[in-house]
Amino acid sequence: MPSQDQAIVEDVMSTPLVTIAPDATVVEAAKEMRERDISALLVTTAPPSIVTSTDIIAAVSEERDTSQLDVADIMTESVETVPPDLRLVETAAMMENFGINHLPVVEDDFVGMISSTDITATLS
**What's the start-to-end Cα distance of the chain, in Å?**
14
Q: Mean of the pLDDT values across residues 73-86?
A: 95
pLDDT tens by residue, 27-70: 999 999 999 999 999 999 988 899 999 999 999 999 999 989 99
- Residue 102 · residue 9 · CB < 8 Å: no
Beta carbons within 10 angstroms of residue 117's beta carbon: 13
* pLDDT of 77: 94
pLDDT at 4 exceeding the cut of 80 = no
Domain 9-123: homologous superfamily in CATH:
CBS-domain (3.10.580.10)
CA-based R_g, the chain, Å: 15
Q: How far apart are CA 55 and CA 83, in angstroms?
A: 24
Domain ranges of the chain: 9-123
Between CA 57 and CA 65, with CA 101 as vertex, the angle to 5 degrees is 15
